[in-house]
Amino acid sequence: MINFQYTRASDVADAVRQVAADPTAKFIAGGTNLIDLMKEDVERPARLIDISRLPLKTVEETAEGGLRIGALVPNSDLAYHPLIAQRYPILASAILAGASAQLRNMASTGGNLLQRTRCSYFYDLATPCNKREPGSGCSAITGLNRMHAILGTSDACIATHPSDMCVALAALDAKVHVAGPAGGRVIAFSNFHRLPENTPQRDTNLHPNEIVTAVELPARGFAANYTYLKIRDRLSYAFALVSVAAALELEGDTIKEARLALGSVAHKPWRDPSAEAALRGEAANQATFTRAADLLLHDAKGFKHNAFKIDLARQAIVRALTQAAAGTPQSQSDKKIR
Ligand SMILES: Cc1cc2nc3c(=O)[nH]c(=O)nc-3n(C[C@H](O)[C@H](O)[C@H](O)COP(=O)(O)OP(=O)(O)OC[C@H]3O[C@@H](n4cnc5c(N)ncnc54)[C@H](O)[C@@H]3O)c2cc1C
Ligand code: SF4
């Protein structure tokens, strides 16, 4: 049993004060990731600061025509929120593709962004892992790496970010609002998560003394032509091998605007402006989609057990874009199961 202190934050300023005062402290929201990591002895916070009662549970319209989602809005409430379901169905679809109904009821918006990798060596204290223990080595590079990254890897770490929700947020160009001792700041979603480089212990650009307060969606929701496609070993309750968020705006058969993000292939949701530029102004057909897929996967590199993900991702991108262009119903996970 490893002892830890438990405190409750009374407001956002108090949460920031408490976390800034104790470098060994961690926030706890839904607890669905952090408690597991503590039980496995991977995370050892000396203090848990409970933020679950802070007033960050609303979804509000912004003056710019978008939405501001409080960091403590549960994943299930967000997926079924009428404004999300109507205007940002790609986000609802991605959330409902993740975890289980019970977990989604507990999991928070901020916690989903900050969930940690599912690399099995990260969880296994008997093996070297640079993310868990910087400088110890990476067991996955020469080990069982079937679920690991094919893009943006480094010699220090080839882990993936496991979130589904974040792939849709990346495609939607969301922003992350955070608060720290120096006040608030806004981080573009594309800059929120980091590539591993030589600091794989740092998943995001959030400072240790900052709290996520909200996620902001811009007005553009791509509600007519979108797909979140999640490829996994079984149809529910499994992390993705590859996922694709594809969002299009069409004028007839011509693509006016396009977004394409991949999940579970890198340390962060993966986008490439060249792939999206290759879609804009082009006919929505297989040749265009294949060209975009090739551009998005241009730098992909497989390891011993995961090279299959490159072709899997290519086919998933083409399928997701084809579905998005056709405006077809989405995956099984869109069925309303609470
Ligand atoms: C069995 C299982 C299956 C799952 N399957 C999927 C899946 O298929 N797809 C998927 O996307 N996810 C999946 N998940 C992950 C799940 O979505 C996350 O565990 C959840 O979103 C985390 O949210 P939480 O509020 O419980 O976070 P917590 O566990 O409370 O916190 C996680 C981390 O975020 C930090 N944190 C939380 N809130 C804030 C904040 N506002 N500001 C700063 N830091 C914060 C905490 O300090 C901690 O480090 C699964 C989880 C489990 C257990
Ligand atoms: S891939 Fe990253 S998380 Fe996994 S063992 Fe290597 S360093 Fe650790």
Any atom of ligand 1 within 6 Å of the Cβ of 239: yes
Cβ atoms of 241 and 147 closer than 8 Å: yes
Write out pLDDT tens, residues 22-33: 999 999 999 999
- Say if residue 44 is exposed, middle or buried (CB neighbours under 10 Å; 0-12, 13-18, 19+): exposed
C-alpha of residue 270 to centroid of ligand 1, in Å? 20
Write out pLDDT tens, residues 274-328: 999 999 999 999 999 999 999 999 999 999 999 999 999 999 999 999 999 999 7
Count the alpha carbons within 13 Å of 321 in the hemisphere toward its beta carbon.
33
Any atom of ligand 1 within 6 Å of the Cβ of 28: yes
| Phi, psi for residue 80 in degrees, rounded to 5 | -95, 5
Any atom of ligand 1 within 6 Å of the Cβ of 176: no
Write out pLDDT tens, residues 46-56: 999 999 999 99
Nearest to 20 by CA among 186, 203, 213, 207: 207
Residue nearest to atom 53 of ligand 1 (CA): 32
Any atom of ligand 1 within 6 Å of the Cβ of 269: no
| Confidence check: pLDDT of 336 > 50 | no
DSSP string, 87-138: H-HHHHHHHHTSS-HHHHHH-BHHHHHHPPP--HHHH-TTS-BTTTSTTS-B
Any atom of ligand 1 within 6 Å of the Cβ of 110: yes
Element (H, E) at 36: helix 34-39
Q: How far is CA 219 from the centre of its chain?
A: 20
Task: With cut-offs at 50, 70 and 90, classify the pLDDT of residue 236.
Answer: confident
